[in-house]
Amino acid sequence: MIRRSYLLLALAPWALFVGTAGAAQYPIMEKVASKIVQKYQQSSCQELWQEKMQKQGQAKPEMEERAIQMLRNDPQMRNAFINRVAAPIANKMFECGMIP
């Protein structure tokens, strides 16, 4: 247990560096990622469920499609984006029972 704490402390500066490196290299992506994280953190579970049900079967907005295409075309940007949004979104979805 103590070993894990030391490992986490040792990795914390590296994780901070990786997060800020992505932000510096892709400022627009960082703004988008921040908005997405903020949306998930501020939304209630009921709001997230309603949005999920409303979006089923609907086409994505053109701007969203372009952003997704950019992430597909740039693996480094995609990596920085996923590193930024994955944990907050997964935690909220878990809290809301949207993932097991």
**Is residue 35 a part of any domain in this protein?**
no
Dump pLDDT digits (tens) for 2-45: 444 333 334 444 444 444 455 679 999 999 999 999 999 999 99
Query: Side chain identity at 44, as an amino acid letter?
Result: S
**Stretch 67-82: mean pLDDT:** 95
What is the pTM for the complete model shown? Answer: 0.69
Check residue 35 and give its pLDDT: 94
Confidence of residue 58 (pLDDT cuts 50, 70, 90): confident
The domain tally of the chain equals: 1
**Is residue 77 a part of any domain in this protein?**
yes
Query: Side chain identity at 24, as an amino acid letter?
Result: A
**Is residue 44 a part of any domain in this protein?**
no
**Is residue 48 a part of any domain in this protein?**
no
Q: What CA–CA distance (Å, rounded) separates 95 from 97?
A: 6
Quick count: other Cβ atoms within 10 Å of Cβ 33?
20
As a whole-number percent, the residues of the chain with pLDDT over 90 amount to: 60
Domain extent at residue 71:
62-100
